[in-house]
């Protein structure tokens, strides 16, 4: 029987309640079910020259195998190439790219270190599934060490249009390296189409039938596998006695009747300043909601060493202060802004207690919060999801109120429409959304990907 080996930059603490990244949440949910190895960075930094020994830890059916990285690796590979080059380019923000040749060298080095550390742990029948933009060249490094296993890759963030990808000086090398995987998964059809355009127009490649793509002397499978959530786990977390008491606390000692909620890492891709401006516009347009509506924004810190992230924090704090100063009163804080991570069961309760969920990124691979908000609702009296057309989730969740996050008036109007939506329409939209989220949950995602990856391997894992 093939064993599943997952590789990602970050390996989640499987026991922790607080996870503020969709990749860790989804892989935790996926692996707990089938078991296997989860290999990656342990989150620690060591001195240059110290041996990077692999530490293992058993957690039920999952063995985590982790290595540290050096300060230099962290600077060049993680903060540098991954988060100052690939992340902004893939999220259509060429204005924020800071390319340095050393970043690229660091990226190649860490991918090689990961492959070198993992190779001795691999069995010939293993199926290896690498995740996200940190590990584009991982398969080519593993192949260079002689690996013959089936190797899969899933990109959690958008694949940009070729016109943007070409801004990375080493983009050709990266795409060629990607072809050392056997299966390449994307979140949406839009990502697949961007990838196809690059292959046809810039890599001299061919798009074949059955999701196959040929370039650089290899034929690989490339298709969309939209990621999902563990619906029951999240829905149940929203209905415990603890959740009820949290919802009661949310409503206690306040004149507020309706809650709007947003939950996002404090990332410039999440469209938070635009969201705050839209809330201000909504208050200006609808004085009848003063003292009756609150926006709660939970925005845990992320990648704080990167300048663009420090700037966005400053901008948001200025905006939330200005909105509360202008509209707030001794008995009403219109905008509650929390700059730290919350446990997922608290989020589930807050989602259930909020009439509107705002998910309005300027660009996002998928956005699991959108699916979690829907899963947490009371199906007999559900809240309304306001969703950006630029979140990957919008390809599936078309019954949400779809907005353009660059259009402040459009978002302000959607807040009003959501708060005024009759029960019948809310139930209708929610029921369509929850059936789709249920059908395409995290288990479906894992099984569909592994089924394709395992073709040709000894036995299917999923």
Ligand X SMILES: O=P(O)(O)OC[C@H]1O[C@H](O[C@H]2O[C@H](CO)[C@@H](O)[C@H](O)[C@H]2O)[C@H](O)[C@@H](O)[C@@H]1O
Closest by CA to 281, choosing from 413, 461, 426, is 413
Neighbours of 3 (CB within 10 A): 16
C-beta of 375: minimal distance to ligand X in Å? 14
- Collapsing DSSP to helix, strand or coil, 346 comes out as helix
- Residue 122 CB, shortest distance to ligand UDP, in Å, is 28
Q: Compute the least distance from the CB of residue 336 to ligand X, in Å.
A: 23
**Are residues 149 and 176 in contact, defined by beta-carbon separation less than 8 angstroms?**
no
Cβ-based neighbours of 435, under 8 Å, separated by 6 or more: none
Binding status of residue 10 toward ligand X by CB under 6 A: yes
* Residue positions annotated with a catalytic role: 156, 364
**Segment near ligand UDP (CB under 6 A), from 15-23, 145-153, 399-407, 430-438?**
15-23
Which of 3, 13, 14, 21 forms a contact with ligand X (CB under 6 A)? 21
3-state secondary structure of 295: strand
* Alpha-carbon span 182 to 153, nearest angstrom: 8
**How many angstroms from the chain centroid is the CA of residue 195?**
19
Sole window of 16-24, 58-66, 99-107, 431-439 interacting with ligand UDP (rule: CB under 6 A): 16-24
Among 42, 126, 372, 399, binds ligand UDP (CB under 6 A): 372
Binding to ligand UDP in span 259-298, by CB under 6 A: 263, 265, 298
Question: Can you read off the two tokens belonging to residue 338?
Answer: 């929390």
Selected from 62, 220, 350, 368, the binder of ligand X by CB under 6 A is 368
- Tell which positions 347-366 bind ligand UDP, by CB under 6 A: 347, 366
Q: Return the DSSP state at 83.
A: I
Nearest partner of 64 among 17, 32, 110, 18, judged by Cα? 32
Instruction: Mark 110-149 with x for binding to ligand X (rule: CB under 6 A) and - for no binding.
Output: ----------------------x-----------------
With beta carbons less than 8 A apart as the criterion, state whether 335 and 320 touch. Answer: yes
**446 contacts: CB under 8 Å, gap ≥ 6:** 30, 33, 34, 462
Q: Which of residues 22-81 bind ligand UDP (CB under 6 A)?
A: 22-23, 25
- Cβ nearer to ligand X, comparing 45 with 207: 45
Q: CB–CB of 2/124 below 8 Å?
A: no
| List 19, 63, 149, 320, residue binding ligand UDP (CB under 6 A) | 19
Burial of 424 (0-12, 13-18, 19+ CB in 10 A): exposed
Q: Which of ligand UDP, ligand X, none does 10 bind, CB closer than 5 to 8 A by kind?
A: ligand X
Binding flag, residue 246, ligand UDP (CB under 6 A): no
Q: Longest Cα pair distance anywhere in the chain, in angstroms?
A: 68
Contact pick of 8, 111, 367, 388 for ligand UDP (by CB under 6 A): 367
Please tell me whether residue 365 binds ligand X under the rule CB under 6 A: yes
CB of 251 to ligand X, least distance (A): 30
Contact status: 187 vs ligand UDP (CB under 6 A): no
Per-residue mark of binding to ligand X, 198-237 (x: CB under 6 A): -----------------------------x----------
Residue 321 has, within 13 A of its CA and on its CB side, a CA count of 6
CB-nearer residue toward ligand X: 354 or 367: 367
* Residue 462 token pair: 């999923």
Give the shortest CB-236-to-ligand X separation in angstroms.
Answer: 21
Find the Cα–Cα–Cα–Cα dihedral 183, 187, 190, 193, rounded to 10°: -10
Report if residue 14 touches ligand UDP, rule: CB under 6 A: no
Binds ligand X (CB under 6 A): choice among 150, 156, 344, 426: 156
Residues in Cβ contact with 242 at an 8 Å cutoff, skipping those fewer than 6 apart:
345, 349
* Ordered alpha helix ranges (H), 203-230: none
Handedness of CA 270, 272, 277, 281 (dihedral sign): positive
Q: Which residue is nearest to ligand UDP (CB)?
A: 22
* Least gap, CB of 392 to ligand X (angstroms): 6
DSSP 3-state assignment of 298?
Answer: strand
Q: Closer to ligand X at the Cβ: 96 or 366?
A: 366
Q: How many CB atoms lie within 10 A of CB 139?
A: 27
131 touching ligand UDP, by CB under 6 A: no
Minimum distance, C-beta of residue 238 to ligand UDP, in the bound complex (Å)? 12
Nearer to ligand X, 181 or 327 (CB): 181
Q: Which residues pair with residue 361 across a beta bridge? A: none
Q: Name the phi and psi angles at 165, rounded to 5.
A: -55, -35
How many angstroms separate the CA atoms of 386 and 402, rounded?
A: 6
Binding site for ligand X (CB under 6 A): 10, 21-24, 26, 132, 156-157, 227, 302-303, 364-368
Binding site for ligand UDP (CB under 6 A): 18-23, 25, 263, 265, 298, 300, 341-342, 344, 347, 366-369, 372
């Amino acid at each position: 029987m093939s064993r599943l080996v997952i590789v990602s930059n970050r390996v989640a603490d499987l026991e922790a309640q607080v996870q503020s990244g969709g990749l860790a949440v989804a892989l935790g949910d996926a692996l707990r079910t089938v078991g296997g190895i989860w290999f990656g960075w342990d989150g620690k930094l060591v001195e240059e020259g110290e041996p990077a020994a692999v530490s293992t830890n058993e957690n039920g059916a999952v063995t985590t195998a982790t290595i540290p990285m050096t300060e230099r690796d962290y600077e060049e590979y993680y903060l540098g190439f991954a988060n100052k080059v690939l992340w902004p380019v893939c999220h259509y923000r060429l204005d924020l790219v800071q390319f340095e040749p050393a970043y690229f060298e660091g990226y190649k080095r860490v991918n090689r270190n990961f492959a070198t550390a993992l190779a001795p742990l691999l069995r010939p029948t293993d199926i290896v599934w690498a995740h996200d933009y940190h590990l584009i060249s991982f398969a080519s490094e593993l192949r260079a060490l002689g690996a013959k296993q089936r190797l899969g890759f899933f990109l959690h963030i958008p694949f940009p249009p070729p016109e943007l990808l070409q801004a990375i000086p080493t983009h050709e090398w990266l795409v060629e390296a990607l072809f050392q995987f056997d299966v390449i998964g994307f979140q949406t059809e839009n990502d697949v189409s961007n990838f196809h355009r690059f292959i046809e127009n810039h890599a001299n490649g061919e798009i074949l039938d059955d999701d196959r793509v040929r370039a650089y002397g290899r034929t690989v499978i490339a298709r969309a596998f939209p990621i999902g959530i563990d619906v029951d786990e999240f829905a149940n977390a929203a209905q415990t006695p603890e959740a009820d008491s949290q919802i009661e606390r949310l409503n206690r000692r306040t004149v507020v009747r309706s809650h709007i909620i947003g939950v996002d890492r404090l990332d410039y891709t999440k469209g938070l300043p635009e969201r705050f401006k839209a809330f201000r516009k909504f208050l200006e347009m609808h004085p009848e909601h003063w003292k009756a509506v609150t926006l709660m924004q939970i925005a845990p810190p992320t990648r704080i060493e990167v300048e663009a992230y420090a700037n966005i924090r400053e901008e948001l704090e200025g905006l939330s202060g200005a909105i509360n100063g202008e509209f707030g009163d001794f008995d009403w804080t219109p905008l509650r802004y929390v700059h730290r991570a919350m446990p997922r069961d608290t989020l589930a309760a807050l989602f259930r207690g909020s009439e509107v969920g705002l998910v309005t990124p300027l660009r996002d691979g998928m956005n699991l919060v959108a699916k979690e908000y829907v899963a947490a609702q009371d199906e007999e009296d559900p809240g309304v999801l306001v969703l950006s057309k630029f979140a990957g989730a919008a390809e599936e969740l078309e019954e949400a109120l779809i907005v353009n996050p660059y259009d402040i008036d459009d978002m302000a109007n959607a807040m009003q429409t959501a708060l005024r939506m009759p029960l019948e329409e809310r139930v209708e939209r929610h029921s369509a959304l929850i059936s789709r989220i249920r059908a395409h949950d995290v288990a479906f995602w894992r099984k569909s990907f592994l089924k394709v990856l395992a073709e040709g391997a000894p036995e299917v894992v999923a």
